């Protein structure tokens, strides 16, 4: 059984993340959407629990049921490779949107390989139509109540709307 971990902050999840996880689920038997618990990250939009719930909803609403059943959503803290080991995952998934992502991703992949040689990082190219998306820009648009409907799934829009932010 091929098990992969897709780690990130996902604050919030975007259509780009959903695209990457669907590509990964087409290749691996089980993919963990792994949300980093980072209490030091400045001004998060969503608490960890809200991120987990919105990711679960977004996956269930956008993926076919047989695929959604093979995507687990969990929080973790500490090192990503330790979470991989705890879940018997030997692959780590990351998305690449543009060449500019490559340098930091390569550095992370080599660092993780040094820490855990048995875990291989696999990159999926984010679909072109989502390649401009970033959680940082989404946060900024949300702060000014801009239209995020083409950038983030309904699960995120609904949570923002309930707070009177964004649509």
Report the interface residues with ligand PNS, using CB under 6 A.
7-9, 36, 79-80, 108, 111-112
Least distance from ligand PNS to the Cβ atom of residue 79, Å: 4
Q: How far apart are CA 44 and CA 30, in angstroms?
A: 28
Q: Has 41 been annotated as catalytic? A: yes
φ and ψ at 151, to 5 degrees? Answer: -115, -35
Which three-class secondary structure state does DSSP give residue 7?
Answer: strand
φ and ψ at 143, to 5 degrees? Answer: -60, -25
Q: Has 135 been annotated as catalytic? A: yes
Least distance from ligand PNS to the Cβ atom of residue 36, Å: 4
Judged by CB, which is closer to ligand PNS: 79, or 137?
79
Q: Has 114 been annotated as catalytic? A: no
Q: How far apart are CA 90 and CA 87, in angstroms?
A: 9
Judged by CB, which is closer to ligand PNS: 54, or 112?
112
Judged by CB, which is closer to ligand PNS: 140, or 147?
140
Q: Of the residues 54, 135, 142, 166, which is catalytic?
A: 135
Least distance from ligand PNS to the Cβ atom of residue 150, Å: 20
Q: How far apart are CA 143 and CA 165, in angstroms?
A: 7
Q: Has 131 been annotated as catalytic? A: no
- Non-local (6+) Cβ contacts of 90 within 8 A are 2, 3, 84, 118, 119, 120
Q: Of the residues 23, 51, 94, 97, which is catalytic?
A: 97
Judged by CB, which is closer to ligand PNS: 132, or 161?
132
16 with 97: CB under 8 angstroms? yes
Active site residues: 17, 41, 97, 135
């Amino acid at each position: 059984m091929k098990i992969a971990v897709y780690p990130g902050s996902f604050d919030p999840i975007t259509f780009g993340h959903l695209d990457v996880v669907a590509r990964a689920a087409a290749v691996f038997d089980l993919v963990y959407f792994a949300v980093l618990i980072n209490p030091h990250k400045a001004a998060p939009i969503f608490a960890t629990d809200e991120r987990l719930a919105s990711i679960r909803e977004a996956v269930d609403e956008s993926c076919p049921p047989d695929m959604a059943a093979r995507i687990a959503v969990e929080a973790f803290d500490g090192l990503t490779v330790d979470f991989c080991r705890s879940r018997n995952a030997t692959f780590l998934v990351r998305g690449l949107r543009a060449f500019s992502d490559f340098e930091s991703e390569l550095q992370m992949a080599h660092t993780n390989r040094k820490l855990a040689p048995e875990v291989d990082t696999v990159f999926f190219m984010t679909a072109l139509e989502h390649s401009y998306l970033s959680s940082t820009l989404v946060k900024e648009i949300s702060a000014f109540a801009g239209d995020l409907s083409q950038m983030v799934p309904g699960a995120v829009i609904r949570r923002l709307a309930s707070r009177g932010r964004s649509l």
